[in-house]
Chain A
Amino acid sequence: MQMARRSSKSGAQIWLIFAVILIVAAFLGAIFIFPRDSNPYRTVPALEVSSYLDNANSLRGNVYRVEGEVVNSLAWSPASGRLIAVGVSEGKDILPVLVTNEFNQLNIQKGQKFIFLLEIDENGILKTKNLTKS
């Protein structure tokens, strides 16, 4: 009896451990399969910085996603917006981004990280179509 009772107890423990492992694996798989939905422009292609540096004109009209950190504010025009320097590629490169005046109400400071939805205009300037803090 004791033997039977002992075997049914260990079986329950095994099932419990298995269930925990399964739950953890499911959680991890969900994380893997369904990443966090903090990047709202995940469907937009990321800008190839090297291509942009080589020839921005060839990318005119395209929209890209760029995630980076504000390095510096270069200029500000109430009518046109703000021109900021954004460090990308882990700070290896710095891109000028024109944050148009529609985002004037947004505080943009040095060191902040943003995800930009950018369009390359006719002059090869990266203009923000949208942005969000990352």
Chain B
Amino acid sequence: MKRLLLSILICPVSFVLAQAPGSIEPAPAQSQPAAAPAQNSSQPAGGGSQSSFLGKDVPVLDPGSEIVTWDGRNWNINNNRMFEARFEKYLSAPESAAGSDLEYQKIILAIMDKMAPNRVTPASTDEAFQLLPKASEYEVDANLCDAIANQVYSSWLARRNKDRLASANKSLEDERKRLEWNAKMTAQSSPLEPGRSGGSNDAANAEAQKQAQLRRDMEMQPILTRLAEINGLLKANQLKSEVAELQVKIEFQALLVQLFLQRRFQHAVIGTRFYRSIFADGDSQLRVGDDARNLFSKTTGLPPTLGTIDSMANEIMRDVKEGVSAFKYLLEKKELESATKRLAETFLIGEYLPSVRTLSRDDKREALAFAQSTNKLISAIEVKDYALAETIVKELAESAKDFDSSKPMAAIETAKTVSAMHIAKARNAAVSGDRETLETELRSATEIWPRNPALATVSSQIFSQADVQGRALIDFDQLLGQKNYRQIFDDRMRFIAATAMHPEKQEQLREVLDRMASVEAAIIRSQEIEKRGDYAGAWESAERAFKENPDDNKLNQLRSDLTTKSADFVRALREAQSLESKNQAGSSLAWYLKAQKEYPPSEFARDGIQRLTKVILPDAS
């Protein structure tokens, strides 16, 4: 409950300083110290419907989620840029100078001790008052002790003025009494004589009484007038006294609330003790506006009183000491996440308390390193740099035993998985030539994980693949036009991949590969025959394939080699074929017969002989 209130109260100091005045009941301008409230002239005094405490809505903290809602905005107390900056500054700063801070704390503690409820005396109050300017000399005090001293002095002056008014009232009271006596005496010394009855004497008596009455009234008039004046002065002095005291009380209360909101809890305690010693009338109720009253009553369940401020300030100081102690213990156990959170909470509450300010820099550095890493992690996730985020998570898991990596890793893994799915879809779209889907999926993958290393690789692969595919198709068409089936066959894997999505080209490629398969088979067959020393037979095999594939270089080369190895046979066949083409059946047949003599198994020779035999003897059986 206290932490809740504190979390609400201890908003950044700048906000407090700028907005706090609106919460306090109207306080007349006076020579207030630096921390004195500044009236916002643009808003009605006292905070009407147009003005509320701390500007607009009262901040609300959800302890479950550590989310503060204020002015229509939400933020996590552990993830707020302003707080992060302030916290990191604190963690980076050296501990307060041991000497000066110790002396300052001694003075503060001495003041608190002298003003302790069970020890306070007029003499100790004076001594404590004299220590206030000394404490104010230290930078860490920020002249707040001066502010308290000024307020105490103003209160004393007000009290002294009240005494003077009381003395004046006593004189006036005496004067009033004297005037009342005089009036009484005057009335007794001028009695009205009773008239005689009968005749003209009745009229004379009435006239005489009238004159006596007039004479007495004339004597009483100055006395009564003065008496009325005295009564008026008395009432005026009473009112003046009450108003002056109330005014001073309100000013003092405003200062106390301000010190509390500024998290200057030691000063708040000192202030409440001075207040009680000055205004010992038992009136400890805080005269604050509705918002401030609600702030206290709804969070503590108590009405806003000096006691509330005093007890809460003391409780907070104790809580801060515990927080620092817990931080040191967790740090010792290498539980950096918890340690840093506890320190952040403690710092948020007790930024100006000695236990926080004197925390060693080395201890803070460990928390700083963790805080910086977590801030980097948050930034990395915010900018969707999941590779960096994963690296940081791993580092944090190694350095902090209690670091819960499940949430960030879940976010990272989810993003990675979704991005990978989009990339896979983009790949499929690229393969199927669906450019629209490709662009959409790549865009989605980029939005989810802009710095995904696979994205650049895949993109370049996809685009280069598309480029290669297009180039391969062009090459295929060119080679097909040139009847360079050998080149197509040699690059068949490339063309198979390139024509995968083009059925008409796939069919063309299939025909080429079938043709080349037969050529390759013929080449292999020729080479096998050649190995047996049957050059003419090898040549025939190559020649047969060559007739169907005259443009195949490899086959042509083999055929040329075999031609030289079976020159006589080949020459005979060539001559035979040449003469046959010239319709010289006799000569041609002679050459075929010669070729057959050279290589009896020759199919070319046999076929030629059969052909020409048919020519010579068409009716031969």
Question: Could you list some 12 contacts between A and B, CB below 8 A?
Answer: A53-B575, A53-B591, A53-B594, A56-B590, A75-B613, A77-B620, A81-B617, A83-B620, A93-B594, A98-B617, A123-B583, A123-B585
Closest 7 CB pairs of A and B: A124-B586, A75-B620, A94-B593, A56-B587, A56-B586, A96-B589, A77-B620
Check A125–B620 contact: CB distance below 8 A. Answer: no
Q: Which residues of A contact B617 (CB under 8 A)?
A: 75-77, 80-81, 83, 98
Q: Which residues of B contact A74 (CB under 8 A)?
A: 609, 613
Q: Mark B99-124, 1 if CB is under 8 A from A, else 0.
A: 00000000000000000000000000
Q: Which residues of A contact B188 (CB under 8 A)?
A: none
Interface residues of B in 580-608 (CB under 8 A from A): 583-587, 589-591, 593-594, 597
CA distance A58 to B465 in the complex (A): 67
Q: Which residues of B contact A57 (CB under 8 A)?
A: 584, 587
Q: Which residues of B contact A76 (CB under 8 A)?
A: 617, 620-621
Contact partner, A55, options B584, B589, B615, Cβ 8 Å: B584
CA distance A125 to B615 in the complex (A): 11
Q: Mark A49-69, 1 if CB is under 8 A from B, else 0.
A: 000111111000000000000
Q: Which residues of A contact B612 (CB under 8 A)?
A: 96
Interface residues of B in 253-287 (CB under 8 A from A): none
Q: Which residues of B contact A124 (CB under 8 A)?
A: 584-587
Check B619–A95 contact: CB distance below 8 A. Answer: no
Q: Tell me the minimal C-beta distance from B216 to chain A in angstroms.
A: 189
User: Is A14 an interface residue when CB atoms closer than 8 A count as contact?
Assistant: no
Q: Which residues of A contact B615 (CB under 8 A)?
A: 123
Q: Tell me the minimal C-beta distance from A63 to chain B in angstroms.
A: 14
CA distance A77 to B593 in the complex (A): 20
User: Is B616 an interface residue when CB atoms closer than 8 A count as contact?
Assistant: yes
CA distance A54 to B583 in the complex (A): 13
Contact partner, B594, options A79, A94, A98, A125, Cβ 8 Å: A94
Q: Mark B342-375, 1 if CB is under 8 A from A, else 0.
A: 0000000000000000000000000000000000
Check A80–B619 contact: CB distance below 8 A. Answer: yes
Q: Which residues of A contact B613 (CB under 8 A)?
A: 74-75, 83
Check A123–B616 contact: CB distance below 8 A. Answer: yes
Q: Which residues of A contact B619 (CB under 8 A)?
A: 77, 79-80
Contact (A94, B590) CB under 8 Å given A77-B619, A123-B616: yes
Further pairs besides A55-B584, A57-B587, A96-B586: 10, Cβ < 8 Å: A53-B587, A53-B591, A56-B587, A74-B613, A75-B616, A83-B617, A83-B620, A123-B586, A124-B586, A124-B587
Residue numbers of A with Cβ under 8 A of B are 52-57, 71, 74-77, 79-81, 83, 85, 93-96, 98, 120, 123-126
Q: Tell me the minimal C-beta distance from B582 to chain A in angstroms.
A: 8
CA distance A55 to B584 in the complex (A): 8
Check B616–A52 contact: CB distance below 8 A. Answer: no
CA distance A71 to B594 in the complex (A): 11
Q: Which residues of A contact B616 (CB under 8 A)?
A: 75, 83, 96, 98, 123, 125
CA distance A75 to B610 in the complex (A): 9
Check A95–B620 contact: CB distance below 8 A. Answer: no
Check B587–A120 contact: CB distance below 8 A. Answer: no
Check A52–B594 contact: CB distance below 8 A. Answer: no
Contact (A125, B586) CB under 8 Å given A76-B621, A80-B617: yes
Contact partner, A94, options B583, B585, B597, Cβ 8 Å: B597
CA distance A55 to B391 in the complex (A): 92
Contact partner, A52, options B583, B590, B597, B621, Cβ 8 Å: B590
Q: Which residues of A contact B579 (CB under 8 A)?
A: 56
Contact partner, B587, options A55, A77, A79, A98, Cβ 8 Å: A55
Q: Tell me the minimal C-beta distance from A83 to chain B in angstroms.
A: 6
Q: Which residues of A contact B575 (CB under 8 A)?
A: 53
Q: Which residues of A contact B594 (CB under 8 A)?
A: 53, 93-94
Q: Tell me the minimal C-beta distance from A51 to chain B in angstroms.
A: 10
Q: Which residues of A contact B621 (CB under 8 A)?
A: 75-77
Q: Which residues of B contact A79 (CB under 8 A)?
A: 619
Check A93–B590 contact: CB distance below 8 A. Answer: yes
CA distance A55 to B591 in the complex (A): 11
Check B590–A53 contact: CB distance below 8 A. Answer: yes
Check B587–A80 contact: CB distance below 8 A. Answer: no
Q: Tell me the minimal C-beta distance from A77 to chain B in angstroms.
A: 4
Check A52–B620 contact: CB distance below 8 A. Answer: no
Interface residues of B in 127-178 (CB under 8 A from A): none
CA distance A75 to B593 in the complex (A): 13
CA distance A53 to B584 in the complex (A): 10
CA distance A93 to B589 in the complex (A): 12
Q: Tell me the minimal C-beta distance from B604 to chain A in angstroms.
A: 16
Q: Tell me the minimal C-beta distance from B61 to chain A in angstroms.
A: 118
Q: Tell me the minimal C-beta distance from A20 to chain B in angstroms.
A: 49
Q: Tell me the minimal C-beta distance from A103 to chain B in angstroms.
A: 14
Check A52–B586 contact: CB distance below 8 A. Answer: yes
Q: Which residues of B contact A54 (CB under 8 A)?
A: 587
- The chain B residue sitting closest to A121, CB to CB, is B586
Q: Mark B445-463, 1 if CB is under 8 A from A, else 0.
A: 0000000000000000000
Check B586–A85 contact: CB distance below 8 A. Answer: no
- The chain A residue sitting closest to B596, CB to CB, is A94
CA distance A36 to B590 in the complex (A): 31
CA distance A85 to B591 in the complex (A): 11
Q: Tell me the minimal C-beta distance from A49 to chain B in angstroms.
A: 8
CA distance A56 to B589 in the complex (A): 11
CA distance A79 to B620 in the complex (A): 9
Q: Tell me the minimal C-beta distance from A96 to chain B in angstroms.
A: 4
Contact (A125, B585) CB under 8 Å given A83-B613, A83-B620: yes
CA distance A124 to B592 in the complex (A): 15
Q: Tell me the minimal C-beta distance from B73 to chain A in angstroms.
A: 111
CA distance A114 to B326 in the complex (A): 132
CA distance A126 to B616 in the complex (A): 10
Contact (A80, B620) CB under 8 Å given A74-B613, A85-B593, A96-B589: yes
Q: Which of A71, A75, A79 has the most CB of B within 10 A?
A: A75
Q: Which residues of A contact B593 (CB under 8 A)?
A: 71, 85, 94-96
